[in-house]
Amino acid sequence: MLTLQSYLSLAAIIFSIGIIGIVINRKNIIIVMMCTELLLISVNFNFIAFSYFNQDIAGQIFVFFILTVAAAEAAIGLAILVALYRNKKSIDVHELRTLRN
Amino acid sequence: MNNELTLITPELIIASAICLLILVNSFLTTEKRYTGLIIGSITMATCALISLIFLIETTNSSIFNNHYKIDHFSTGLKFTTYLIALFIFIGTKTNKENTKSELVLLEIFAILGVSILASSNNLLTLYLGLETLTLSMYGLVASKRSSEIATESAMKFFILGAIASAIFLYGVSFVYGLHGTLFFEELNNATINNTIEMQLALAFIICGIAFKLGAVPFHSWVPDTYQGASTSSALFISTIPKLGAFALIYRLLYEAFIANAEFWSLLILLLGLLSLILGNVIAIAQDNLRRILGYSAVGHIGFILIGLSIGSIDGAIAALAYLVIYILMTAAAFMSIEVISTEKRAVVTLADIKDLNSTHPWISLIMLFSMFSMVGIPPFIGFYAKWIILSELINSDMLSIALIGIIVSVIAAFYYLRIVWYMYFEKNELPIMKGSPNIFQKTSISLVGLSILLLGIYPSPIINFCRSIFSPFLLID
C-alpha cells in the first residue's frame, strides 16, 4: 500500500530533476522546455495524490486545467522558438546573449 | 443565473470583442489598419463605464458557486485597468506601424486575464487568470518576429515565466494538500496556517508573485523585455500586468493568508528592499534608455512591495496609490518614446534623445514631468506617491526602512536627471528623431503628462479612489 508520502517524494524528485535540468543544461532550449513540462507534471502528481488522500475532487479538476494550460504554454514556447531560430539560425542556450547590461 | 451573467458584463464584452477580433483578423487581411484600434477602444470605454456603474452601485456578491467574486476591490481595479488600457490604445495604436490588430487582440486577452485575477475567489480561478495574462504577454513580447533581440527577450521571458508559474503551482499544490480546499475564505479560517509546511508552500507562492511583479531575484526579464519588445508592447507590459500582479498579491496574501501575515510580510519586505536597492543602483550604469526604465520599474516595484509588507489595509492602500501613480509616470515616459520614434529608427539609447527639446519641445517637457515625478520632486505626483508610502512606514515604526527608501531615492535621482540633461543640454550629432505624433497621440500623451502635474498639486482624487476601493474592509476594521 503506497502512502501519501511516497507520492509526494516522487513528485519532489521529478520537480528536482526539472530544476536541475534547467540549471545544468548548457546546450539546447528544447531541453529547457522539456524540463518545464517535468515541473508541471510533478505538480500534477501532487494534486492527484492530495486529491485522492483528502477525498476531494477539486484537485483532479485542477489537474485538467494545468494540462490544458501546459499545452498552450508549450505551443507558445515552440512558436517563439521557431521565430528565434529564424533570426539566429541556432537554438543554443549560449547564443542568447545579445541582451546584456 | 441571469443575475450572475449581468455581474460579469465587462468580461463578457471583452470575450466577445476577442472573438470579433479573431474573425476580423482572419477575414480582413489587407485593409485592417484601424479595426483593431476601434474595436479595442470601444470595448475598453464600454467596460470602464459599466465597471464605474458597478462601483457606484456597490455590488458585492460571490457568483459561480463562490468561484468568482464581484466586490469593491475587483470592480475598482477593473475600472482602473480599462481606463489605462483605453489611454494606451489611443496613445500608441494610432501609430502607423502599431496598427496590427493582433497586438490589440493579445492586449485585450491580457486585460481579460487581469479581470479574472481581480475577481478570483478560488486558487483555480486565480491560476487561470494568471496564465491568461502571462501567455498573452509572451505573445506581445515576441510580436516583433523579425527582430533578433525581440525574439531573444521573449524566449528568456518565456523560460523564466514557465519556471515561475511551475514553482507557484508547486506551492499551490501544497496549500491544497494541507487545507483540502481551494477557496480563499476556507484557507483563511484554517488553523494550520502557521505550520512549517505551510510556510514552505507560501515561500514557493511568493517566488511566483515576485516573478510576476519583477522583484529582484526574478527581475532579469524586466529590462530584457523592455529593451526587446516594440515600444507599444513595452508600454503595455510595464502597466497593465502590474495591476494584475497587485490583484494577485492582494487576493492571496491579504485575503487567503492574512493569518500568516508575520511570515509573508518578512519575505515581501526582503524582496522589496532588494528590488529597491539593486534596481536603482544597476540603473545608474545603463546607457540604454529602455533598460534604464526597466531597472527603474524594478526599483518602483520595491517601493510597492515595502508598502505591502506593512501588512495592514493602510499599507495596501498606499501601495495601490503608488502603483497607479507609477503607471501614469511610466505611461508618459513610454508614450514619449513611442511618438518620437519612426518606423525606421526607434529610440533605444540615451544618445537618441540628445537635444530632443529643440525638435519636440512639448514631448520633452512631458518626459521631463515624468522623470521629475519618478525622482519625487514636490509639485509632481511622484513626490506624493513616495510620501504616502514613507508616512505609512513611519506610522508603523519602520523608520529604518523609510530611511533606506529616502537614501535610495536620492541615489536614483542621478539617472533620472541624466535623462533630462540629455534632452535639454547635450549637443546632438546624430540625425534628429523625425517621429511626428498625430492628434490622438497628442491628446492622450498631454492628458497623461498634465495629470502628473495636476494630480501632484491636488492629489486627493487618487488617494480617495484607492481608499474607496478598500472601503468595505475599513468598515470591518
Tell me, yes or no, whether A18 lies in a domain: yes
Closest residue in chain B to residue A35, using alpha carbons only: B163
Residue B94: its pLDDT value, please? 62
Domain count for chain A = 1
Q: Fill in the DSSP letter of residue B432.
A: P
Q: Which residues of B touch A65 (CB under 8 A)?
A: 124, 127-128
Q: Where are any strands of DSSP class E within B54-97?
A: 61-63, 68-70
Residue B11: its pLDDT value, please? 92
H/E stretch holding B346: none
Contact A87 B181 (CB under 8 A): no
Q: Which residues of A touch B151 (CB under 8 A)?
A: 80, 83-84, 87-88
3-state helix, strand, coil in chain A (%, to 5): 80, 0, 20
Segment B295-314 shows an average pLDDT of: 90
Segment B417-435 shows an average pLDDT of: 79
Tell me, yes or no, whether A100 lies in a domain: no
Are β-strands B61-63 and B68-70 bridged in parallel, bridged antiparallel, or unpaired? antiparallel
Q: Is the pLDDT of residue B271 over 60?
A: yes
What pTM, to 2 d.p., does this model score? 0.92
Contact B170 A101 (CB under 8 A): no
Q: How close is the nearest chain B Cα to the Cα of A36, in Å?
A: 6
Residues of B with CB under 8 A from a CB of A: 123-124, 127-128, 131, 135, 138-139, 142, 145-149, 151-156, 158-159, 162-163, 165-167, 169-170, 172-174, 176-177, 180-182, 223-224, 227-228, 282, 285-286, 291
Q: How close is the nearest chain A Cα to the Cα of B462, in Å?
A: 36
Residue from B151, B289, B349 whose CB has the most chain A CBs within 10 Å, to mutate: B151
Residue B244: its pLDDT value, please? 92
Confidence of residue B260 (pLDDT cuts 50, 70, 90): confident
Tell me, yes or no, whether A101 lies in a domain: no
Q: How close is the nearest chain B Cα to the Cα of A24, in Å?
A: 14
Residue from B133, B173, B200, B230 whose CB has the most chain A CBs within 10 Å, to mutate: B173
Q: How close is the nearest chain B Cα to the Cα of A14, in Å?
A: 12
Q: What is the pLDDT of residues B156-213, one digit of tens each?
A: 999 999 999 999 999 999 999 988 888 888 887 666 667 888 889 999 999 989 998 8
Contact B303, B277 (CB under 8 A): no
Tell me, yes or no, whether A51 lies in a domain: yes
Tell me, yes or no, whether A64 lies in a domain: yes
CATH of the domain at A80: 1.10.287.3510
Contacts of A52 (CB under 8 A, 6+ apart): none
Contact B169 A43 (CB under 8 A): yes
Alpha helices, DSSP H only, in B255-312?
Answer: 261-284, 289-309
Contact B21, B108 (CB under 8 A): yes
Q: Burial code of B80-98, b = ≥16 C-beta within 10 A, e = fewer? A: bbbbbbbbbbbbbbbbeeb
Segment A6-25 shows an average pLDDT of: 91
Residue B95: its pLDDT value, please? 61
Q: What is the pLDDT of residues B86-108, one digit of tens each?
A: 988 887 766 655 556 778 889 99
Q: Which residues of B touch A58 (CB under 8 A)?
A: 124, 176, 181-182
A-B C-beta contacts closer than 8 Å: 122
Domain that holds residue A50: 4-95
Residue B2: its pLDDT value, please? 58
Q: Count of alpha carbons within 13 Å of B144, Cβ hemisphere only?
A: 23
d(CA B219, CA B1): 43
Residue B357: its pLDDT value, please? 80
Q: Is the pLDDT of residue B434 over 80?
A: no
Q: Is the pLDDT of residue A88 over 90?
A: no
3-state helix, strand, coil in chain B (%, to 5): 80, 0, 20
Contact A99 B158 (CB under 8 A): no
Q: Is the pLDDT of residue B467 over 90?
A: no
Residue from A3, A14, A20, A43 whose CB has the most chain B CBs within 10 Å, to mutate: A43
Q: Which residues of A touch B164 (CB under 8 A)?
A: none
Angle between helix B123-141 and B148-179 (nearest 10): 170
Closest residue in chain A to residue B174, using alpha carbons only: A46
Q: Which residues of B touch A33 (CB under 8 A)?
A: 159, 162
Q: Which residues of A touch B163 (CB under 8 A)?
A: 19, 22, 36, 39
Q: Is the pLDDT of residue B477 over 50?
A: no
Contact B154 A80 (CB under 8 A): yes
Confidence of residue B476 (pLDDT cuts 50, 70, 90): very low
Q: How close is the nearest chain A Cα to the Cα of B58, in Å?
A: 31
Contact A47, A82 (CB under 8 A): no
Residue B30: its pLDDT value, please? 56
Other Cβ atoms within 10 Å of B117 Cβ, number? 31
Q: What is the pLDDT of residues B310-357, one digit of tens each?
A: 888 888 899 999 999 999 999 999 888 888 877 667 777 787 788 778
Tell me, yes or no, whether A33 lies in a domain: yes
Tell me, yes or no, whether A85 lies in a domain: yes
Segment B465-474 shows an average pLDDT of: 72
d(CA B385, CA B375): 11
Contacts of A13 (CB under 8 A, 6+ apart): none
Q: How close is the nearest chain B Cα to the Cα of A2, in Å?
A: 17
Q: Where are any strands of DSSP class E within B119-239?
A: none
Instruction: Tell me the residue type at B285.
Output: A
